Amino acid sequence: MKEVVNYRKGEFVDYNGETHHFVVAAVSTTDICEDGSLWLTLYNNRDINPVDAEEITKVLFVGVAVCNPKDEFDEEKGKMIAYNKATNAKNLHHPAMFTTRPGFINTEVVEALLNNIVNYIKKDPGSVIAGYDDAKKKFLKKAKDQQFVDSSSKELKKLAEDIKALSSEDKKNLDRLISIV
C-alpha cells in the first residue's frame, strides 16, 4: 500500500470577528479496499448490465479539522484529527477524487485541491462547521435588532417598555384601540 498525506492549514475570521484555525488533510492511497481492487463500472441507461469496467488505481480522501476559537490551536493535533476524518470508515465510501489512470492524482493536483479547499472554507465556513450558518443568521439578526434599538428615540423606547409591561388583557385592549383610532 502506498499512502501519501499532504496537509494545508488555514484560518478565517467568523461573523463575530473571531479567528478559527483549521487543517485540511489529503490522503491519497493505492490500497482502496480489503482485496486491493475496486472497479469503476459503467452502465447504460436501459438496463443494469455493465457496459465497461476499469480498475480504480488511486483514491484521494479529504478531512478537515477546525479549531474552536476559544481553544488554543495545536497544528499537530489538527493534522491528526483531519487525517482521521479523511480515513474514517464512513468517508472511505465517499472519496474526494479517484482515478483509473496512473499519474492523474499527483502532487500538483493534490496541492491545487488543498489550496482550493482552504480558499473555499474561508469563503464558506458553514460547509465544514455544522450549525455555522444558523448561528451566523442568529448573530446578525441580534446585531441588527440591537442597532434598531440603539437608533430608536428615547420616547419610542419608553413607549415600548410601557407596552411590554401591560397585561395581556390590556395589550388586547390597546390593539383594539389602535385599530379604532
Report pLDDT digits (tens) over 76-124: 999 999 999 998 866 666 778 888 777 888 899 999 999 999 999 999 9
Low-confidence ranges of the chain (pLDDT < 70): 1, 31-54, 89-93
Q: How far apart are CA 103 and CA 124, in angstroms?
A: 31
pLDDT in the model for residue 96:
82
Q: How far apart are CA 21 and CA 72, in angstroms?
A: 9
pLDDT in the model for residue 127:
94
Q: What are phi and psi of 63, to 5 degrees?
A: -135, 150
Q: Which residues pair with 80 in a beta bridge?
A: none
Place of cell 415600548: 160
Distances (CA, A) of 176 to 156, 159, 161, 162, 180: 20, 17, 19, 17, 6
pLDDT in the model for residue 30:
79
Q: Are 100 and 57 in contact (CB under 8 A)?
A: yes
pLDDT in the model for residue 31:
67
